[in-house]
Every structure is written in structure tokens, then in C-alpha cells.
Structure 1
Amino acid sequence: MKNINIKSVLLALTLIGTIVSCDSDYKEETPSIAGIAVANPNFSTLEGAAVQGGVVGVLSNSNPNDPSGHYTVFAPTNDAFARLGLVDAGTLGGLQNDFLTNTLLYHVSNGDLLASKIMNGGTSTSALGVDRRFISRGNDLYINGSKIILTDVNASNGTVHAIDKVMIATGVNIVESAILLKDAKVFKAPELTFLVQAVISSGLASVLADPDNNFTIYAPTDAAFKAAGFATLDDVKNAPQATLQAVLLNHAIVGGKFTSEQTSTTAVTAGGGTLTYSAFLNGTFTVKSNGIATPAKMVIPDIQCSNGIVHVIDTVLLP
């Protein structure tokens, strides 16, 4: 990998040091994937997630679904989990266990996928059954919107690559994904109640749920809707349908793109408006529409749905 930064080097050194220094009196056996997470402080949140999600046993043993007996895991670091506000077992408790288990499985695939075999434009099927795709951006390589910051850590039952963002896939369409958030089936504190109501009241639900349509959606949180003047759900319900359609279509770009794939500085919305992007920094960017003064920041980027990509943002992109 090119352009590995100092933080990545320190992570690599810590990994190597942890693996080889457990007992100086004898040669330590190569740890399992789960053992690497347990032994290394940079993966302590991943360890807690694996325990809560019930996958420790899976990642401790041989893979029965591959002739090699191996897995490849794209392992989010503690910093990756912290970007979602998940820093310890207490905050992990804010996630539904089924969602957590599926999220972890989304980071796992069968066999050994070494860095030398990872190519721009390639894909890899996860243990969840959903494909992830690889994107080159500058000198860096991404899996979906997550940068691969360390490669080819050898485990007794496979290979570990470290990544800088947790990958999320819902397995359902954009509308159903928003409903999962609203009904607290993903995070226990729902965030998109107002958005779901706007989609329903606007009459656009069938468009956004259509498997033949593929979108990038910028999804404002409930707090964002309130800040835009929709104080209650009734305000959304009673808004003119044409107004809601204009607002929502200003959050939709035809074609689903992860943050790592967005290289232009502007994009035309499904409603004919223009969005302007800031520079790509630390895996995200801000988004500005003509109707707002302050750009929207990303709260949760790169949520993969069956018909596109959703980025949760903190401001409504008014036309």
C-alpha cells in the first residue's frame, strides 16, 4: 500500500509487538482473528462488538465454508467505531444485536484476500451476502467508503486488514433502510422519523424503493428538519406535497456513490438543483445546496442499501 501515514505505521508496530511479545520463552503460535482483536488495544471496541454480536466463536475457529478454512476480515479500528460515537461496551449497547451481528459479518469474507489481489474496481462478497467494492483514490485504496490503512496481518484462520470507518449495509432499499432507523431496528435511538414522514407524504416512496432506480441519498436527521422549520411531524404531514417533493429531490443524486467515489466538486440533483462538495478530508466531505448558508456535515456516511448509498447529514439541503 502506498502513502501509509504515521498513525497506520504505529498501528502496524503495535500489532506486531502484541503478537510476538506475549511470551519471550517460547515461540507464540499465530493467534486467530479473534485473538488478534483481543490482544491488540487498537481493536478493543471491535472485540466488544464481536462479543455482543455473538461472532467471537466464528472468528476464533476455522471457516467451514472455505476449503482453506480461512476468513478475511476488514477490521475497523477503535477510531473507526468512535466516528459513529461507539467507544466502549456501554455505547455499543445502543445498537440492536441483530444489526450489530450483520454489520460485523459485512466485514468478513471467505478465504484469504491478500492486498496484492485487491484491485480498483474489484468486488468481494461479504459473509452477509452483500458485495463490497474496491476504489482507488489517489494513492489510497478503499473498500466502499472505508480506507484500508493496514494490510495482510496474518492470523491462524485467515487475514486481517485494518480500515478507518465501520462499513454498514442494510440489505434493503433506501426507503426500508430509513424505516429501519425510524423504528429503532438499527440504532436504538431513531434519527430519521421526519425524513420517513416526508417521503411518505411527498408520494416519492415508490420511486426511492424501486429496485430499478439507484441513488445517492443525503438523509437529514430529525434535528436537521427541526432546524429547517419543521418543528413537529404534523408540520411535515401538512406541508404541500410539491414542497416536500422539491426538498427531497434536492437530496437525491442519480447513481449510488460512496464518499470515496465522489470526485467532482458539484453534482446535479434529481430535482435539477446543484450540490457543491468540499474537499475530501478524512473520508468525508460537506455538502451545500443553494438554499442554505452553512454546508451540511456527514453524521453517518456510506450506508449501503440494495438500490443505492445513503449518507446521513445534519442539515436539510433546501433548494
Structure 2
Amino acid sequence: MNTSHLMRRVAAVAAAAVLPVSLGVLAPQAFAEDTDGPFGPGCAAVPAEGEGSLDGMADDPVATAAANNPELSTLVTAVKKAGLVDTLNNAQGITVFAPTNDAFAKIPKADLDKALADKATLTKILTYHVVGERVDKAALADGSFETLQGGTVTTDGSGDSFEVNDTAKIVCGDVPTSNATVHIIDTVLMPK
């Protein structure tokens, strides 16, 4: 009888230990890893499957990854017109603040058409969206970064809410590609 009681007690103690571990209570590191990765309300607009999904974008260089994401088609058109596809795809360890189609739609059509027709202006605008190092969420709280255009972008915020240059909100941040970190933004940044 004592053996049976002891066995039940050992089983109960084992179950009490296993349950919290399986729920992440005793293993906070495993639980914390689930919260890393892309963040922001705009991540829901990224396709759930396929090459344009968050997982699909991680396999490709940044310009190719953007081309597969329907939310970034206007940006991709601009990158192609500026002749920057190979430059972006071959760069290593960069960050791209990628304006959505809606961000480009905020620009009056005549102004957008004029910029798209002027390769020098377009290149200046687009390279202002690219930082020559990887910038992840941890660096966004109070950041200042030199762009490939030669200007500076600033970031500020906390939690899952960050802004760039006090004008653009990051709607889906920390999106990985094979050569870059992408922060999808809701406004086109304009160099000074």
C-alpha cells in the first residue's frame, strides 16, 4: 500500500512539473521566442502563404521578396524604374523602410508620375529608404540612421508602435529577407 501511494505521489509531482513546462511557465526562453519576429497591425495584410508571405519573403533577397508581396507593388515599380533591383538584391545586411501602395497613393498623382519619370529624383527618394545596416525592433526606440542617399532617418516608439521621421508609421516591422530587414511603412519618406 505504501508503494502504491508513493507511486501515485511521484506521478502527481511529475505531472505538476510537466504541465508548467509545456505551458512555458518554467521555460520562458521557449515562450519568448514565439514573440520575436514581425510585428505590427499591417502584418495581417501580408499574404499568409506563398512567396509574398512573411515566410516566403525570408527566402529571397529584398527586391525579389518585395516583388512577391502585393502590398509593395508600387515600390517595386519605382525600384525597377530607378534601376535598383540588382543593387538592393546584392547588398548585404541592409534595412529597407518599404512604403506600401497606400503610402504612394497619398502622393498626388502628378507628383508621383513626375518622380517616376525622373530617374535621379527617384533614386534619391528610394535610397533614402535604405540603411546600410540591419536595424531591428530593439534599435527603433530612439534611433538615428544614415541612409544610402546620405541623409538620416530617425525612429522612435515602443512596444509594437514605431514611427520613422515622425511622419511614417511602421505597420509591419522586422520582416526578414535573405539579405535585409524590412519595415513596411504607411508614408513615403522624403529626403531633405
Tell me the TM-score normalised to structure 1 length.
0.45
- Once the two structures are superposed, residues 285-318 of structure 1 have per-residue CA deviations (whole angstroms, 9 ceiling, x without a partner) of 2111xxxxx5100010001111121100000001
Aligned counterpart in structure 2 of residue 178 of structure 1, from 66, 75, 95: 66
Distance across 2 between alignment mates of 1:205 and 1:82? 26
Partner AA of 1:96 in structure 2: E
Greater CA radius of gyration, 1 or 2? 2
Between the two proteins, what is the percent identity of the paired residues? 28
- Structure 2 SS opposite 1:172: coil
C-alpha deviation, 1:176, in angstroms:
1.3
Do residues 95 (structure 1) and 95 (structure 2) align? Answer: no
Match of 2:172 in 1: 300
- Structure 2 SS opposite 1:317: coil
Partner AA of 2:126 in structure 1: L
Distance across 1 between alignment mates of 2:114 and 2:35? 37
Listed as ranges, the gaps of 5+ residues in structure 1 are 1-25, 38-71, 104-167, 182-189, 289-293
Distance across 2 between alignment mates of 1:207 and 1:194? 18
- Once the two structures are superposed, residues 193-251 of structure 1 have per-residue CA deviations (whole angstroms, 9 ceiling, x without a partner) of 100001101001111000x53311100000000102347x9x38952111210110110
Contact 1:295–1:315 at 8 Å: present in 2 too?
A: yes
Listed as ranges, the gaps of 5+ residues in structure 2 are 1-10, 25-29
Distance across 2 between alignment mates of 1:244 and 1:216? 18
Contact 2:128–2:151 at 8 Å: present in 1 too?
A: yes
| Distance change >3 Å, CA 296–CA 180, structure 1 → 2 | same
Partner AA of 1:252 in structure 2: V
What is the correspondence of 1:191-206 to structure 2 with a 5 Å cutoff? 191-206=71-86
| Distance change >3 Å, CA 98–CA 221, structure 1 → 2 | closer
Partner AA of 2:159 in structure 1: N
C-alpha RMSD of the superposition:
3.7
Partner AA of 1:198 in structure 2: A
| Distance change >3 Å, CA 98–CA 256, structure 1 → 2 | closer
C-alpha deviation, 1:169, in angstroms:
6.2
Aligned counterpart in structure 2 of residue 269 of structure 1, from 144, 147, 152: 147
Contact 2:40–2:161 at 8 Å: present in 1 too?
A: no
Distance across 2 between alignment mates of 1:263 and 1:282? 9
- Once the two structures are superposed, residues 114-172 of structure 1 have per-residue CA deviations (whole angstroms, 9 ceiling, x without a partner) of xxxxxxxxxxxxxxxxxxxxxxxxxxxxxxxxxxxxxxxxxxxxxxxxxxxxxx96121
Match of 2:7 in 1: none
Match of 2:130 in 1: 252
Match of 1:281 in 2: 158
Distance across 2 between alignment mates of 1:85 and 1:271? 27
Aligned counterpart in structure 2 of residue 225 of structure 1, from 104, 124, 127: 104
C-alpha deviation, 1:32, in angstroms:
10
| Distance change >3 Å, CA 282–CA 229, structure 1 → 2 | same
Distance across 2 between alignment mates of 1:99 and 1:31? 37
Match of 2:95 in 1: 216
C-alpha deviation, 1:272, in angstroms:
1.2
Partner AA of 2:49 in structure 1: Q
- Once the two structures are superposed, residues 7-32 of structure 1 have per-residue CA deviations (whole angstroms, 9 ceiling, x without a partner) of xxxxxxxxxxxxxxxxxxx8447359
What is the correspondence of 1:30-109 to structure 2 with a 5 Å cutoff? 30=18, 36=23, 72=30, 74-76=33-35, 83-84=41-42, 95-96=48-49, 103=55
Match of 1:309 in 2: 181
Partner AA of 2:60 in structure 1: V
- Once the two structures are superposed, residues 53-99 of structure 1 have per-residue CA deviations (whole angstroms, 9 ceiling, x without a partner) of xxxxxxxxxxxxxxxxxxx562249xx9884565xxxx99x622788
Q: How many residues align?
A: 171
Answer 1 or 2: higher relative contact order, Cα 8 Å, separation at least 6.
2
Which has a greater percent of helix? 2
Tell me the TM-score normalised to structure 2 length.
0.71
